Structure 1
């Protein structure tokens, strides 16, 4: 992170012309795709991409995220978009300035209902007509699109040095995911009526902060899109997600997951809750495979994609990857839907 370059760009903006180097506070690196720098006394954080996890060029990546922050903020559980710093020679990926959320990491399982309410605030936002959804992705069939993503990423299962027993189990689960859609003909004939809303996508609990009032804030909208809210519910509560961030790590019980689902249902319209309910089980399998296939990619390419991560964080990520791909871990997780 080139702090002098960031300062030089910031001080060209009238609102930040008085900033000094002492006002820039790099925050500990938690995720794999962004650096964060607090602007002391301004209530603002600079969010600086390291790379695009969805393969966009720097300008498109920044525009996508800016749109996501602007649209999600209406729900009241995500940071406000303050400004966009366009990519340039000294800041190749650009940056977003977003409102600072003062809070602590979630404590699981106690804060899962608060996370459910934050997700509900996204999911109940009015759905724009298709022509107004870009640049955010909006697949006509988000379940099929997620399966296609899993199929693409699953190639990394063959190169991630997995135990043969783990690889065999993943092949079984992928085959089951291909046919596990409730109440829909296969192959699916479009248009199909699916619950589609604004979704956060990367909604593992480590991407939330809990403020002093107990309200949950979702802070990472890089992958936000229009999709199936059941995928968010799965991703927020699966073992692969709840154990990912070392500041949050905890394994949820079935009762914890049920309480999480109940809190979400209580916070969304009844028709949305009813439409999502049949999908909860099949989408847990599919979303778990989405996470594992991404993790397999990270196992192969992670150090190249995000160089310079702290040794402590790298060690934690390697330990998580070793754990989630253990055959006994796979067996324990898939008991949820078997």
Structure 2
């Protein structure tokens, strides 16, 4: 007998459908519990098993990378497989096939017994987790697909940010804020020497390393549980996503406003974990990728504010930011954060923080 604990979006009927789909994969399930709706990309169900450790079903609501369901599943599965070498991510156990009941399929991964990250206390553990992820050997070019590994990761990042920046035309910002963002976007103007250095430092990155995506085990180990957007790029993008104001104030459970000294210590701890030589941090590359990650997050806010009013994609194909896929509470939270991050005071604050960090990291080398 299997027990079900539903949620407002995940009914007993849907949990029953999931159980039927699971029978062919694992017949030891005793309880399925829909987890709180905390993200725009997945539903999550805790799978209690009679024998062996529990699992989590990650059921895509959409593909943030604009992939069809089959390609999206394969991409995410490879994210988990490759990141597993770090020792700081859940193991992948099985793929839930695409079906009429689950048109985007799903992944079955290890359930992590842990709590949400508390900042700044857990920043060292997060830095260590990222250092171990970034130390995974980069495979030969031919072996990197399906994960993204563009010829120039910096150019690819530029193109992605500038594509999202087109949504600034409809964003709730004044002319002064738009001019400030346009000025910040000149970061991507041609600087071939910097671009070449950034591209030369490519490694496996999460590209979604905000603190809300980490769980802290009872032993104090940080586990990165959301891996759908891994790619080969510069590690500074992950460090930024873990410590920017637009990341540390995103998730209510890990909310914190970090001062510059704390962020400097975070970068230095990551560097010390990753490197045992006297090699010097490339501060210019780390700051450039930090600014790029902030611009990506800020322009994403403009994009989401424009697209979340659209109807749900009835064909369940590719990207879909429709508010219909998530609880009203979550949509209200995301809208509040998106408008906040696009506000003039926050744009000024983060820009100032980035320049101050550049100065203090340079002094700390």
TM-score by length of 2: 0.86
Q: CA deviation at 1:201?
A: 0.3
Alignment match of 1:238 (pick from 241, 244, 259): 244
Q: What residue in structure 2 maps to residue 31 of structure 1? A: 39
Q: 1:226 aligns with which of 226, 232, 245?
A: 232
Change beyond 3 A, Cα 1:227–1:273: farther
Give the alignment partner of residue 340 of structure 2, picking from 306, 313, 323.
323
CA distance in 2, matches of 1:66, 1:224: 10
Q: Which residue of 1 aligns with 2:362?
A: none
Cα displacement (A) at 1:72: 0.6
1:279-315 per-residue CA deviation (whole Å, 9 max, x = no partner) reads 1222221110011111111111125424242222222
Q: Distance in 2 between matches of 1:286 and 1:132?
A: 27
Q: How does 1:68-83 map to 2 (within 5 A)?
A: 68-83=79-94
SS at match of 1:47: strand
- Aligned partners of 1:299 and 1:321 also within 8 Å: yes
Counterpart contact for 2:249–2:256, Cα < 8 Å = yes
Q: Distance in 1 between matches of 2:267 and 2:190?
A: 20
Give the corresponding residue for 2:208: 202
Say which SS state the counterpart of residue 274 (structure 1) adopts: coil
Structure 1 range deviating more: 302-311 or 64-73: 302-311
Distance change in 2, residues 1:207/1:174 (3 Å): same
Tell me the residue number matched to 1:285.
291
- Measured on the aligned residues, the alpha-carbon RMSD in Å equals 1.9
Find out whether 1:145 has 2:156 as its counterpart: yes
Residue of structure 2 equivalent to 1:126: 137
1:7 is aligned to 2:19: yes
TM-score of the superposition, structure 1-length normalised? 0.92
- C-alpha change, 1:272 and 1:19, in structure 2 (3 Å) is farther
CA contact (8 A) 1:114 1:214 kept: yes
1:1-338 counterparts in 2 under 5 A?
A: 1=10, 2-13=14-25, 16-19=26-29, 23-41=31-49, 42-175=53-186, 177-179=187-189, 181=191, 184-185=192-193, 194-270=200-276, 274=280, 276-304=282-310, 305-306=321-322, 307-338=324-355
Deviation at 1:255, TM superposition (A): 0.8
Query: Is the alpha carbon distance of 1:273 and 1:153 closer, same or farther for their aligned partners in structure 2, counting shifts above 3 Å?
Result: farther
The CA distance in 2 between the partners of 1:271 and 1:291, in whole Å, is 33
Report the Cα distance in structure 2 between the residues aligned to 1:272 and 1:146, rounded to whole angstroms. Answer: 30
Q: CA 1:303/1:220 → structure 2, altered by over 3 Å: closer, same or farther? A: farther
State the 1:192 CA deviation. 7.9
State the SS of the aligned residue for 1:292. Answer: helix
Three-state SS of the structure 1 residue aligned to 2:241 is helix
CA, structure 1 residues 279+66, in 2 after alignment: closer, same or farther (shift >3 Å)? Answer: same
Task: Supply the distance in 1 between the matched residues of 2:334 and 2:279 (Cα, whole angstroms).
Answer: 34
**Pair 1:267–1:299, CA change in 2 (3 A):** same
CA distance in 2 between counterparts of 1:211 and 1:192 reads 33
The answer on whether the counterparts of 2:45 and 2:57 sit within 8 Å (CA) in structure 1 is yes
- C-alpha distance in structure 2 between counterparts of 1:263 and 1:76, whole Å: 18
SS in 1 for 2:59: strand
> How many positions carry a matched residue from both structures?
329
Once the two structures are TM-superposed, the CA of residue 18 in structure 1 deviates from its matched residue by: 4.2
